[in-house]
Structure 1
């Protein structure tokens, strides 16, 4: 006797005398996904229009970065000491965005609200995990190249650098955001109270 036949016989002996459920006692099973309502479709379309109109990040051609080259950027007026402190993990991670193995267009859509919300919540140092490919044209390296381009397009971004090896190395990027007007006002008030 072969093994599949023996397994089938063992199963039947184990299950015993089982009868199928009557049609009226069966749970309904759905195959496929429920179709969205017209209202849901309209909301999705409106959200895409709003996001598309406000998301200024370009997906045009970008010069690809070498996989082993670190990325670094600082706006005019930002001291090198701030960039060095950022590079060496001198600031704590206040938020992270993981873009590993995501399509480029989805990364573009995710980055825009992430930076906007971090700035709106007075966060200063955030990390973006994007991965690093071994080949020049690998998807992770293409994303890393676009990320370097996109981050420089934000007025809120003061500087960004590749992370230290212990924090992800070339696969992650530290981003320093500028202080919001609310945060600047709070700092002034605290300093006046100290002097006061």
Structure 2
């Protein structure tokens, strides 16, 4: 790097660079001092739209008239049996009394897509006359904070469906805490 000397000793620019700068700005005139201070416009506070949507959805879900009292703890996981039905149904469901006839895998889906897929799957099961199905929601290892986002959502959606008689976490061989086994109402056939 060249050493600066003379008037340009404190300037980081060489004499040629300074001369070039002066030529570039020779037609520029100074702004008059107005004595006013320019205040930056106050920015509006950000609106947390996702938080508002989440709160609205939570409120809507809380007003659905769910039968939360019908939930029972089973080894730390939530199970459900429709009010008025015997609790033995849960025991039979946990032990694999009914054969799992079909399954739905929700891995990789967001909340809304999973809700739609679950509703469509249950309608299809009803049309086909299925009684026992498995819904795999995952254990949440790939989700944000490594928490199972769909686990409680799926259980909530199932409780809203009249065709669902009971559900419980799957046995370890059937997916364990990453899946739920669902018992559906028997569909009466027209010729019965």
Q: State the secondary structure of the residue aligned to 1:93.
A: coil
TM-align CA RMSD = 2.7
Q: In 2 relative to 1, CA 142–133 (structure 1 residues): closer, same or farther, beyond 3 Å? A: same
Q: Give unmatched runs, 5+ long, in structure 1.
A: 1-58, 187-196
Do structure 1's residue 165 and structure 2's residue 164 form an aligned pair?
no
Structure 1 residue 102 displacement after superposition: 1.3
Could you tell me the TM-score, scaled by structure 2's length? 0.57
Q: Deviations over 1:126-172 (max 9, x none)?
A: 00011113699747612111111100000100000001112111101
Matched length: 123
Distance 2:160 2:144 in 1: 23
Structure 1 counterpart SS, 2:140: coil
Are positions 1:179 and 2:176 aligned together?
Answer: no
1:121 maps to which residue? 128
Match of 1:110 in 2: 117
Aligned to 1:13: none
The match for 1:150 among 157, 162, 166 is 157
Unaligned runs of 5+ in 2: 1-55, 63-74
Structure 1 pair 140–102 and aligned structure 2 pair: CA distance change class (3 A): farther
Matching of residues 42-191 of structure 1 within 5 Å: 60-61=57-58, 69-133=76-140, 138=145, 141-182=148-189, 186=192
The answer on whether the counterparts of 1:130 and 1:140 sit within 8 Å (CA) in structure 2 is no
Q: Which has the higher helix share?
A: 1
Distance between the aligned counterparts of 2:145 and 2:101, measured in 1? Answer: 29
Cα separation, 2, equivalents of 1:136 and 1:100 = 10
Query: 3-state DSSP class of the match of 2:148?
Result: helix
Q: Is the 8 A contact 2:81 2:89 kept in 1?
A: no
2:49 — aligned with what?
Answer: none
TM-score normalised by structure 1 residue count: 0.56
